[in-house]
Amino acid sequence: MTDAVAEPISLTRFLIEEKRAGRINPDLRLLVEVVARACKRISVAVGKGALGGVLGDAGTGNVQGEAQKKLDVIANDVLLEANAWGGHLAACASEEMDHCQPIPDAYPRGNYLLLFDPLDGSSNIDVNVGVGTIFSVLRCPEGVATVADADFLQPGTSQVAAGYCIYGPSTMLVLTIGHGTHAFTLDREQGSFVLTQKDMRVPEETKEFAINMSNQRHWEAPMQDYVRDLLAGREGPRGKDFNMRWIASMVADVHRILTRGGIFIYPWDRKDPTKAGKLRLMYEANPMSMLIEQAGGAATDGRGRILEIAPAQLHQRVPVFLGSKAEVAVATACHREHD
């Protein structure tokens, strides 16, 4: 008898099997499928590039005062529209919207809250470098009549699912429902996501770091010390040479770290008197931290675990240190020693 060729496992089949195993309920399963479908549409728009007339600025700004790209707005609309009518959601919140948006009255209301950064790394769109969609799913608190921003203010440990879709040379969906982190590659001919990496594992040790070095002069003392030691290489206290990569798309940098290890850092710097950092807790830091932890890595804000931060605002920012567990521990210890 010859070995049977392993049958490809589609996202749909994966989710049905997770349901049979009691790890996901029908509404959450539908939610993940709907988000995946929306990501396929975004992937098509991103892939058309200049041919689709979708490049360039939208001429508008988001709540944080950042200029929006046309594709930021398109991706946001695709996710809102796809998730409006399925009956699985109570409300959506997005990096690109001032406040959360409850599900329209015309449709049944579900029990979940969906948060997303519709197109992360969008400054890279016009130069044809990888971008992505990041999402996080929370439960809607019980007894809420009209969903408000405050209902989203739950720590990352309350997430029931998180993921991203990266629009790179291939389109990939990376997902966790709290039982490991799994990667699916979009088969463009079939139009379906196919499981290509089950139980991704971030190597515990690394020799690679990702940071925007142009901000070095603005960092606080522990960051200066930590990176000085990395740059000193094998002659320095770390005793090994480190390589650096910075794509300036968090999805792409995190995808590399999930694939081959590394540490990603977006620290607080002195340009920001609130000491908050650049990245958003609810749309970027929390979902990425859940994915990384589920793959055996670690994520802190330089002092404590990101997933345990009690959010005070929907658009709150936070310093981010995530990736290979041992390296995140070194960077975090360096900060704690200075406090």
Decide which of Mg ion, ligand AHM, none touches 18; Cβ closer than 5 to 8 Å per partner kind: none
- Write b or e for each residue in 8-29: b if 16 or more Cβ atoms lie within 10 A of its Cβ, otherwise e: ebbbeebbeebeeeeebeeebb
CB atoms within 10 A of CB 304: 12
Asked if 72 is part of the footprint of Mg ion (rule: CB under 5 A), the reply reads no
Contacts with ligand AHM by CB under 6 A lie at: 66, 117, 120-123, 212, 248-250, 266, 278
Q: Which residues contact 201 (CB under 8 A, 6 or more apart)?
A: 295, 296
Q: Order of strands, edge to edge, in the sheet holding 89-94?
A: 101-102, 89-94, 112-120, 131-139, 161-167, 171-176, 181-187, 192-197
Q: Are 265 and 244 in contact (CB under 8 A)?
A: no
Q: Toward Mg ion, which CB reaches closer, 62 or 332?
A: 62
Alpha-carbon gap, residue 2 to 152, rounded angstroms: 53
| Residue number of the CB atom closest to ligand AHM | 250
In which element (H, E) is residue 171 found? strand 171-176
- Cβ-contact 274, 191 below 8 angstroms: no
Q: Does 293 engage in binding with Mg ion (CB under 5 A)? A: no
Q: Which residue lies nearer to Mg ion by CB, 72 or 269?
A: 72
Closest separation between CB of residue 271 and ligand AHM, Å?
10
Q: Which does 63 bind (CB under 5 to 8 A by kind): Mg ion, ligand AHM, none?
A: none
Select from ligand AHM, Mg ion, none the partner in contact with residue 167, using the beta carbon and a kind-dependent cut-off of 5 to 8 Å: none
**253: contact with Mg ion by CB under 5 A:** no
Q: Which residues are annotated as a binding site for substrate?
A: 120-123, 212, 278
Q: Which does 212 bind (CB under 5 to 8 A by kind): ligand AHM, Mg ion, none?
A: ligand AHM
User: Which of the residues 12 through 51 are near Mg ion (CB under 5 A)?
Assistant: none
> What does each C-alpha distance from 278 to 219, 285, 307, 308 come to in angstroms?
13, 10, 17, 19
Q: By C-alpha distance, which of 69, 91, 185 is closest to 136?
A: 91
Q: Which of 72, 96, 117, 151 binds Mg ion (CB under 5 A)?
A: 117
Minimum distance of Mg ion from residue 313's CB (angstroms)? 16
Nearer to ligand AHM by Cβ, of 120 and 208: the residue is: 120
Specify the residue, 14 or 219, whose C-beta has the smaller distance to ligand AHM.
Answer: 219
User: Shortest Cβ distance from residue 60 to Mg ion (Å)?
Assistant: 16
Binding interface with Mg ion (CB under 5 A): 117, 120
